[in-house]
Amino acid sequence: MTGSTLYALTGAALVGIGFFGLISAQHLMRRVVAFNLIGSGLFVFLGAAGARSGASDPIPQALIITGIVVALSASALAIGLVVAHARASRRPTLPEEDGEA
């Protein structure tokens, strides 16, 4: 097994772990954290594909750097919404899940 295959499988597993966190967590902050796990898992998958034939490819690297910055700005907006929602409702969860908690 080559190094890039190992990292690609790690990236695939990270997407799965992050997706699990996204759908199983109720606290909205945990969901944003899990969403970031999915994103970085996909970046690792793409980066491993770029390094697949030995030489590293700058095009996926540039796309990943763009992706990391956009992920931060999306997270900042999501976190801002979570804090605003918690302020308005005094709860860090979505309204339809309050009954089950």
Smallest separation, CB 31 to another protein (Å): 10
CB of 65 to another protein, least distance (A): 5
H or E element in which residue 81 lies: helix 58-89
| Residue 59 · residue 66 · CB < 8 Å | no
- In whole angstroms, give the CA distance from residue 33 to residue 81: 14
Smallest distance from another protein to CB 98, Å: 8
* Angle (CA) 89 32 23, round 5°: 90
